[in-house]
Structure 1
Amino acid sequence: MASEKSFLLVVAVLLLLSPALGAKERCNPQDKKALLQIKKDFNNPYVLTSWKPEEDCCTWYCVECDRKTNRIVTINIYLSVPETNFSAKIPDSIGLLPYLQTLTLHHLPYLTGRTNISGPVPAFLAQLKKLTYIDLSFNNLSGSIPPELGQLPKLEALHLDRNHLTGPIPASFGSLKSNPDIYLSHNNLSGPIPPSFFRLNLTRLDLSRNKLVGDASGLFGATKATQTIDLSRNQFAFDLSKVKFSKTIISLDLNHNKLYGALPASLTALDNLQLFNVSYNRLCGKIPVGGNLQKNDVYSYFHNKCLCGSPLPKCSN
């Protein structure tokens, strides 16, 4: 009797320790098939060696399954240092994951240097209606931003920064009712901001280091939820004195543009303002006194047409 109990105990322990014996595979078969195709399309990189057909894909590195549905909801491939040859385009096979919510393909270099995922931003991403987060930053993407991305109903954040994207900001982005955080900096985007874009009530927006032109004042408004906005190093031109700012603003960077007019006195009411930079513009007049404006150093204001007053030199009579 004792030996029989010992045998049963050993079997129970083995069942607990062995997923193959003790538990049914969680992974949806169609999702596994799609992931294996993605691995193949990415040229079987080292970072995806855990993606083995004989193992449960919910246990694979870089992916996450929903705890209730067991469908793949996250792909998160991020390389902080060169580890593998990741030379392929973003594969269409990603579009075979209908429950995908988060897609991160960030900084994926060759083994020999910083040359990253190439090709355009794929329009098929618009088919993934559950997507809430897209991060394709720090890659080698080129071409224009597909207007189809404006059809994503649940998008909360879009990171396309630090690529080689060209063309305008799609007018379809004005249809993004979810008001996502948008990061398009360090590209070669050009043209004016489409009027439809001004309808958005964005919390975070970064359009810096592009070739954008025209009037961007529609991005601001006293009732908007803006917290951080970076329009620096473009060619925007508008009268800053007529702009109404939200009191929620924490960071406002407008340097290296063609802004003109005076600094509005309403800036002194922005109690949350921590970063402020209007250097290298065409502004004129006295810097308003109050709020956090005098807490910035001279480099936040210099190289304008005729700005004066603290922290710049005093205004002359």
Structure 2
Amino acid sequence: MTSFFTLATLILFLTLSSSSYSSACNNIDLKALLVFKNSFPSTPFPTWTTSKDCCSWDNVACDSSTGRVTSLSFFGNQVENPSVGLNGSIPTSIGGVTALESITFSSLSSLVGTIPPQLSKLKNLKTLILYSTKVSGPVPSFLSALPALEQITLANNMLVGTIPSSLGNLPNLNYIDLSGNQLHGAIPPSLFTKTKDKLPTFFVGGNKLTGEIPRSFGNVGFYNIDFHNNQLTGDALFLFGKSKPLAQITLAGNKLSFDLSHVEYPVLNLGYVDISHNQIYGTISNQITEVPNLGLFDVSYNKLCGKIPSGGNFGQFGTQSFEQNKCLCGTPLPACK
């Protein structure tokens, strides 16, 4: 009697579970993915066959309760990954997978063309990663029509043009990486102005950006900033602040010019400061020694003067961190006269 009751309970549980759990791929997504596959005729998609649930295909992830495809991920840096040979442009059919929350194309040197406007149909998209490909054209302004976007990584591609100011309209966007492209023009002051209760990361190093860093960024609680190797000018003092959450700031290789003497360095998270190869003047404030987790500090190739602070963990930095300034002195440089 007991065993029968247990068996009946198990059957009831499985019946209820099967009614609330679906592993079958949504038919709309299935059709769109098959069109996507056929856009790359020379690329092996061995698991992409109608004899299998598309939620079990390589490079695909689904919501277990709805069967909707929520993620597509293609990596070219893994020998065993079938997407290594992904040749051609991003198929427009990707816009038909309307429940997508995450898209990744990474380290795919044969991926070319522009970013298709059909991405604007993906209203649930939170993460867009196109990293180290041959994708070209502009950073699309239509990305601002995707209200759920939290991360845009378009680094190490062949993108040209300017950064769309309309990206500042995205309330959830807290991570932008546009580094390693050929972008020019000014950084839009609208970026991150609607981002609340976040710790934004903004990487635009290795481009051709000009003009001044927007003053509005002084009101943004950045966690990571990397503007290296551009042609930025003017002040950056407002990016610092003792109580700010900043963990990394990289401004090296620009034409920035401001007085470093009165900078208050963030003490909570700061671990990395590289402001080398600019035209920064003044002295290095002793307050820097209060930063407990500082692992890199590079002010070389500027116009700084005065005695290098000592104390804290500041003794770990060698000559290369301070060389080629106007008149810095003290350990690890020659003693002050």
TM-score band w.r.t. shorter chain: 0.7 to 0.9
Q: 1:134 aligns with which of 125, 133, 152?
A: 152
Is residue 26 from structure 1 mapped to residue 35 from structure 2 by the alignment? no
| Paired position in structure 2 for 1:66 | 63
Relative distance call for 1:33 and 1:193 in structure 2 (3 A) is farther
Counterpart in 2 of 1:285? 306
Match of residue 8 from structure 2: none
**Deviation string, structure 1 residues 90-118 (Cα, Å, up to 9, x no partner):** 1112222221222111112xxxxxxx100
Q: Note if 1:296 corresponds to 2:295.
A: no
Percent identity over paired residues: 40
- Give the C-alpha shift of residue 39 in structure 1: 6.2
Residue 48 and residue 162 in structure 1: after superposition, are their counterparts in 2 closer, same or farther (change >3 A)?
farther
Structure 1 counterpart of 2:203, which letter?
Y
Contact persistence 2:23–2:64 (CA under 8 A): no
Q: Quick check: 46-55 or 167-176, which moved more? A: 46-55
CA offset digits 1:125-180 (Å, max 9, x no partner): 12221122221111000100111211222223211111111111111114133342
Which stretch shifts more, 170-179 or 271-280? 170-179
Give the count of matched residue pairs: 284
> Does the alignment pair 1:91 with 2:90?
no
Contact 1:174 / 1:196 at 8 angstroms: preserved in 2?
A: no
User: Aligned to 1:276, which of 293, 297, 301?
Assistant: 297
Q: Does 1:44 align with 2:40?
A: yes
C-alpha change, 1:67 and 1:276, in structure 2 (3 Å) is farther
Distance 2:40 2:243 in 1: 50
Which of 132, 141, 152 is matched with 1:107 structurally? 132
Using structure 1 for the length normalisation, give the TM-score.
0.81
> Which residue pairs with 1:8 in the alignment?
none
Q: Structure 1 residues 35 and 197 mapped into 2: Cα distance closer, same or farther (>3 Å)? A: farther
* CA distance in 1 between partners of 2:56 and 2:62 (Å): 9
Correspondences of 1:136-175 after superposition (within 5 Å): 136-175=154-193
Q: 2:237 aligns with which of 217, 229, 232?
A: 217
Q: Is contact 1:72-1:100 (8 Å) kept?
A: no
TM-score computed with the length of structure 2 as normaliser:
0.77
Q: Distance in 2 between matches of 1:47 and 1:197?
A: 44
The CA distance in 1 between the partners of 2:41 and 2:274, in whole Å, is 39
CA distance in 2, matches of 1:34, 1:92: 16
Deviation at 1:38, TM superposition (A): 6.1
Q: Which residue of 1 aligns with 2:284?
A: 263
Deviation at residue 310 of structure 1 after TM alignment: 0.1
Q: Which amino acid in structure 2 is aligned with residue 136 of structure 1? A: L
* Deviations, residues 5-47 of structure 1 (Å, cap 9, x unaligned): xxxxxxxxxxxxxxxxxx7623362x5566566667xx53756
